[in-house]
Amino acid sequence: MGLWVAIFNGLLTYKLHDMKNLFLFLMCLITCNSIHAQKIVKDEIDEFTGNRITETNYISFSDGFTCALHKVNNTILLKTTYNCGDKVYSMEKGADLMLKLENDSIITLNNEEDAVAEYWSLNLGKTFIEHFNLKTRYIIPDEVYTLLKTNKIRTVRFYTTDGYITETVSEKRAKKILKLFSLLK
């Protein structure tokens, strides 16, 4: 009898352990999904100017290249950040950001201001991360915004003072970017 009790207790412990792992896995999955979900992070009326300001969270075009939307009243800006690694890139006012869509049309947006990559560092215990980020902003005209809400972006090219950088957008990220553009009305 003692053997059967030991086996039963062992199985019960094993099953509870599996359920605990399953629960932790599901919680991690839900958390990761909510972290990367497209959402409005700011939607308010500025108390000084009376302007309505709406901002989305940042999502990735590709590894190291992120974007967010920023709307002030009826003007929509695409804000981008490019992780330059150990290189320092700069971009002049008016430099092009080109977006190739799934329907093969090409959209060209112009950088709003001069930009130089900024040093960024983070200390995580024994791990030290450092790199340069290039932050830029582009006004999106209404007719272009309509295209971006209905067509996936396939390729991104942006011009720096050293030339251009082209990044391919994965299907998964293209869907997320499409959802991001649908957040603002």
Here the tokens at position 16 are 């509870």
Pick the closest to residue 59 from 41, 75, 85, 84 (CA basis). 41
Question: Where do the structural domains in the chain lie, given as residue ranges?
Answer: 1-36, 40-183
pLDDT of residue 185: 72
Asked if residue 71 lies in contact with residue 55, where contact means CB atoms within 8 angstroms, the answer is: yes
Average pLDDT for the chain? 86
Q: What mean pLDDT is predicted for residues 91-110? A: 97
The band of 5, judged by pLDDT with boundaries at 50, 70 and 90, is low
C-alpha pair distances (Å), 142 with each of 38, 88, 146: 21, 33, 6
Question: Which DSSP string corresponds to 79-111?
Answer: EEEEEEET---EE-TT-EEEEEETTS-EEEEEB
pLDDT in tens, 58-91: 999 999 999 999 999 999 999 999 999 999 999 9
The Cβ-side half-sphere exposure at 132, using a 13 Å CA radius, reads 12
- Give the chain's radius of gyration (CA, Å): 23
